[in-house]
Amino acid sequence: MTHMLFRETEALEQQRMEPERIRLLRQKLQLTQEDFAHLIGVTFSTVNRWENGKSAPNRIAYRLLAGLEKKARAQAE
């Protein structure tokens, strides 16, 4: 039961990080895909696949992206 709940939660988190949302975050930070990838510890091709909807961030990457998004919002205010 717990394992099933964990998978559902993970799926919901990944659904919320849409490709356009990732692209907009990267653009707000004024970073290239390569620089953004380096910042969060993934490869350029991973960021490219996320932004093109070919894959989605895992839980760890999602949390990093969510943290960056929160920081970017705070700086904009």
Q: For residue 5, what pLDDT is reported? A: 47
Q: For residue 1, what pLDDT is reported? A: 53
Return the axis-axis angle of helices 33-40 and 44-51, rounded to nearest 10°: 110
Consecutive sets of 10 residues in the chain, 77 residues long: mean pLDDT of each? 53 70 97 98 98 96 95 88
Cβ-proximal residues to 53 (8 Å cutoff; 6+ apart), any chain: 18, 19
Domain that holds residue 15: 2-76
- Look up the CATH number of the domain holding residue 57: 1.10.260.40
The count of domains in the chain is 1
What is the distance of C-alpha 66 from the center of its chain? 7
